[in-house]
Structure 1
Amino acid sequence: MPEGPEIRRVADRLARQLVGQSLESVWFAFPELAGEGASLEGHRVLSVESWGKALLIHFDNDRVLYSHNQLYGVWKLHRAANPPSTRRSLRVRLQAGGRVASLYSASDVSLWSAGQLEQHPFLSRLGPDLMSHGVTANDIEERLTSSRFRRRALGGLLLDQGFYAGIGNYLRSEMLFFAGLGPQLRPMDLESIQRSRLARVMRDVIHQAYREAGVTNQPGWIAHEKRQGLSRGHWRFAVFAREGLPCHACGEQIVRRMVTSRRLYYCPSCQAV
């Protein structure tokens, strides 16, 4: 499933095409939304934002279109006269300026008024988005030491969307590695300097993944792998999906284990236990 950085990149692509445009036609496949398309036609798109793995399109009539791609959903951008060739099921179609944003295969789509969005059953459970909500390293440190989260093992906490939204499995492994922390440690177990480093790493890693389309490895380590002719699958990550391969930093073999029923990769030498 795409994680926060990937959804943010989709939001940015949609924004470049839609923001400021008046909608010429709107179509929904869902029976409960079938009559709603006309209420959006002629209205402008104000913004497109991501919140974790959800996407929100804001219109100038105080409406908000919520969508969650889940496992199979995908947005495709195309000219109105040239729809994509695909076997996927079309769920949403937004046309503006002769171009179309089409959502395929997603099943979680709804239309809300902006004032009621906080009542959304999924969004109301989410913590802040590390990229969309202006989260600082100090904010993260404070949240780590709060009574709600300080006793939680980091391996589970980082995947809890109520902690921070948008962190998925590959980001969890990469963040813990670059912070030098084992998954069983809790925020309350850490020294102040360790919590500060984790907070900085969380912001840095997710923003790098956004800028570099999912790449979280260090430039020097990437260059070394590329010189050996290795593919993106080998050099994209520092530890994730690298079980049995040598750690870039120390040469120790990367280990895989299951944490909260999800695979986690770490270096037993570099990450404190």
Structure 2
Amino acid sequence: MPEGPEIKHAADEIARVLVGQGCNNIAFGLARLNTHIKHLKGYNIDYVKPKAKALLIGFSSGYVIYSHNQLYGKWVCVERGQTFESNRQLRIKIETDKGEARLYSASDIDVLHSSELGSHSFLAKLGPDLLDDDTTIETVLTRLKESRFSKRRLANLLLDQSFLAGTGNYLRSEVLFSVGIHPFKKLGELSDDKRHALANALLSITRRSYETNGICVSEDIKRSLQASRDEFEYYRFAVFGQAQRPCINCKTPVEKTDMAGRRLYLCPTCQHA
């Protein structure tokens, strides 16, 4: 499933086709949404914003399309004059003078007035978004100090969008490795220094992944890994997907484990329990 950086890239691509344009036509593949066409067609599109793993498309009418890709949803942008064929089920098609934005296969879709966003069942539960410009180190530190999260294992907590939005499976492995924290540690067991390091890593690695199209390691580490194998999936990560590769710090083989059915990678030496 795409994580925060990938969702934000999708939002950027959709925004290039939609934002600042009038909606010439819109079609839904779910009949229950057709009553909202009158709230959207003919109005300008003001923004496309990611919210954790969901997208919001705002119209000048005050209405907003909410969508969540879940496991199989996919947005595709088609420039004016181009064609695109797919065997997937078309759920949304938005047409502007620049082209079309299409959502395939997803089913978690709604149209809301902007005044209703705060009470939406998914949006209302989200924590601060790591890719939001307003989220600072202090914002994340405050979250890390909240007692209601203190007894939860970090391996679980860093997948919980109600804790911090935009995190995900590869990010939790990379973040925890970067600060030398074992995934099974509980948040309340961390020292103040470790909390601060974790807050910094959560912001910096998530934003680095967005800015570099998926690279989680520093430029120096990337160059070192790339020199030995020039494959994107090899040099973009320190530990994720790298089982048995020598740790970049201590040369201990990276280990793979599973938690709640999700892959998890760590260095047993650098991240001892």
Count of equivalent residues: 273
Specify the alignment match of 2:220 in structure 1.
220
- Give, in angstroms, the shift of residue 133 of structure 1: 5.8
SS of alignment partner, residue 148 of structure 1: helix
User: Are 1:161 and 1:167, in contact at CA under 8 Å, matched by a contact in 2?
Assistant: yes
Going from structure 1 to structure 2, the CA distance change for 1:83 and 1:90 (only over 3 Å counts) comes to farther
1:169 maps onto 2:169 in alignment: yes
Specify the alignment match of 1:87 in structure 2.
87
User: Are 1:50 and 1:132, in contact at CA under 8 Å, matched by a contact in 2?
Assistant: no
Relative to the length of structure 2, the TM-score reads 0.95
Partner letter of residue 162 of structure 2? G
- Give, in angstroms, the shift of residue 204 of structure 1: 0.4
Relative to the length of structure 1, the TM-score reads 0.95
Partner letter of residue 190 of structure 2? L
Specify the alignment match of 1:37 in structure 2.
37
Specify the alignment match of 1:111 in structure 2.
111
Which whole-Å deviations, capped at 9, do the CAs of 1:115-141 have from their partners, x for residues lacking one?
111221111222121112621111111
Unaligned runs of 5+ in 1: none
Which whole-Å deviations, capped at 9, do the CAs of 1:131-158 have from their partners, x for residues lacking one?
1262111111111111111221111111
Aligned equivalents of 1:138, 1:227: Cα separation in 2: 37
Specify the alignment match of 1:203 in structure 2.
203
Specify the alignment match of 1:251 in structure 2.
251
Partner letter of residue 9 of structure 2? R
SS of alignment partner, residue 86 of structure 1: coil
1:233 maps onto 2:233 in alignment: yes
Farther-moved stretch of structure 1 (130-139 vs 19-28):
130-139
Correspondence 1:169-188 to 2 at 5 A:
169-188=169-188
User: Are 1:49 and 1:132, in contact at CA under 8 Å, matched by a contact in 2?
Assistant: no
- Give, in angstroms, the shift of residue 8 of structure 1: 0.6
User: Are 2:63 and 2:114, in contact at CA under 8 Å, matched by a contact in 1?
Assistant: yes
Aligned equivalents of 1:135, 1:39: Cα separation in 2: 32
CA RMSD of aligned residues (A): 1.4
Aligned equivalents of 1:219, 1:24: Cα separation in 2: 44
Partner letter of residue 267 of structure 2? C
1:271 maps onto 2:252 in alignment: no
Aligned equivalents of 1:271, 1:98: Cα separation in 2: 50
SS of alignment partner, residue 148 of structure 2: coil
Farther-moved stretch of structure 1 (184-193 vs 88-97):
184-193
Aligned equivalents of 1:229, 1:177: Cα separation in 2: 21
- Give, in angstroms, the shift of residue 80 of structure 1: 4.2
Aligned equivalents of 1:260, 1:196: Cα separation in 2: 27
Aligned equivalents of 1:80, 1:88: Cα separation in 2: 21
Specify the alignment match of 1:76 in structure 2.
76
Identical-pair percentage: 38
- Give, in angstroms, the shift of residue 224 of structure 1: 2.2
